[in-house]
Amino acid sequence: MSALNNFASHVLSKKSLQQSKKTQTSFINFSQFFTIQNSPKTPSRISLVCPINAVTEDREAKTSQENEKKEPNKSYTEVERKIKNSLLSILLDKDRFFNAAIVLGAGTLAITKLLTIDHEFWHGWTLYEILRYAPEHNWIAYEEALKANPVLAKMAISGIVYSVGDWIAQCYEGKPLLEFDRTRMFRSGLVGFSLHGSLSHYYYQFCEALFPSNDWWVVPAKVAFDQTIWSAIWNSIYFVVLGFLRFESAANIFGVLNTTFWPMLTAGWKLWPFAHLITYGVIPLEQRLLWVDCVELVWVTILSTYSNEKSEARISEESEAKSD
């Protein structure tokens, strides 16, 4: 009996030792997450170091993600604010408002007219068919207008080209897109409509009658005649008429013409001889003005810029002389 008691006590002691070791090992493993700070007089105090660091890292990650989500929204709101400010500035500024209305109205009218040329036949048409046939049918309509009233059709084209050319010239001079001088653009368009379209129509017919042959030398002869006689006449007309439309004195107008006549004539020789090789060698008679007006977009920009620079310089010199 005593032997059984000894054996039982021995087994129980082993079990208690094993349990104490397990608790020690579990405490050691648990100490990886907790730090024990012992003081001689106070009991052990557990501080949660690593879990707190993990929580703070999670919060920082969440805040960084929220900031990243807010950044595109912030840039989007900045774009919206800029657009609203620009629209408000246009509405508050009367000149810019009228200019924007002119540009928007003219552009909308032109695009609508060009795209709706076949609106009577649109039943069942797809968008692809509308866009496909619009250029061809607009060209047919233009040729019909030339046959019906060639002078008026060419006057309208020249008026549009000279207006747009002056607008491009003002933008090239540094003015913002919607802060152009409407009066100046109207003057240039009026000269193109009333004089350039009609005079060019009769000039090209006169040039064909002057050189009726189809020999190889006819095209160079027409280019030479165009770039001497006709260019001198038209540049002079343009400068003089613009001067009178600006209500300048005759002395100022002819003074500007004397200083700009030769430079403008020679400047045209850098552009027009090459363009007129196509004008007189390839383009049919009735279509020549349309081709010339396309090139005129560049030339009118040069003419308008040069004319207005000289006029403004002369006006500033006169005002300075009067003030002195």
For residue range 259-300, what is the model confidence (pLDDT) as tens digits?
A: 888 988 888 898 899 999 999 999 999 899 999 988 988 877
**What secondary structure letter does DSSP report for 41?**
S
More confident residue, 10 or 106: 106
Give the model's pLDDT for residue 24.
45
Mean pLDDT score across all residues of the chain:
77
pLDDT tens-digit series, residues 168-227: 888 888 888 888 899 999 999 999 999 999 999 999 999 999 998 888 899 999 999 999
pLDDT at residue 82 above 60? yes
Q: Please report which confidence band the pLDDT of residue 49 belongs to, taking 50, 70 and 90 as the band edges.
A: very low
Please check whether residue 197 is in contact with residue 160, taking contact to mean a CB–CB distance below 8 angstroms.
Answer: no
Of 7-11, 40-44, 104-108, 164-168, which gets the smallest average pLDDT? Answer: 40-44
Give the model's pLDDT for residue 63.
58
- Find the mean pLDDT for residues 81-101: 73
Structure tokens at 251: 């002395």
Supply the angle between the helices 150-172 and 197-210 in degrees, to the nearest 10. Answer: 120
Where does the chain have alpha helices with state H?
2-30, 49-92, 94-115, 127-148, 150-172, 182-191, 197-210, 218-225, 231-245, 250-268, 272-281, 288-323
Measure CA 92 to chain center.
23
* pTM of this structure: 0.65
Rounded to whole angstroms, how far apart are CA atoms 240 and 234? Answer: 10
Of 86-95, 145-154, 242-251, which gets the smallest average pLDDT? Answer: 86-95
First to last CA, the chain: 140
18 forms bridges with which residues in the sheet? none
More confident residue, 307 or 273: 273
Please check whether residue 307 is in contact with residue 259, taking contact to mean a CB–CB distance below 8 angstroms.
Answer: no
Q: Please report which confidence band the pLDDT of residue 64 belongs to, taking 50, 70 and 90 as the band edges.
A: low
Give the model's pLDDT for residue 58.
55
Sorted by sequence, the CB contacts under 8 Å of residue 39 that are 6+ apart come out as 45
Measure CA 217 to chain center.
44
Q: Please report which confidence band the pLDDT of residue 46 belongs to, taking 50, 70 and 90 as the band edges.
A: very low
Sorted by sequence, the CB contacts under 8 Å of residue 198 that are 6+ apart come out as 151, 154, 155
Q: Which of 30-44, 189-203, 251-265 has the highest mean pLDDT?
A: 189-203
- Name the residue among 144, 138, 131, 140 with its Cα closest to residue 114: 138
pLDDT at residue 40 above 80? no
Please check whether residue 145 is in contact with residue 153, taking contact to mean a CB–CB distance below 8 angstroms.
Answer: yes
Give the model's pLDDT for residue 170.
86
Q: Please report which confidence band the pLDDT of residue 27 belongs to, taking 50, 70 and 90 as the band edges.
A: very low
Give the model's pLDDT for residue 31.
44
CA dist 168 → 171, 287, 298 (Å): 5, 24, 9
Give the model's pLDDT for residue 118.
85
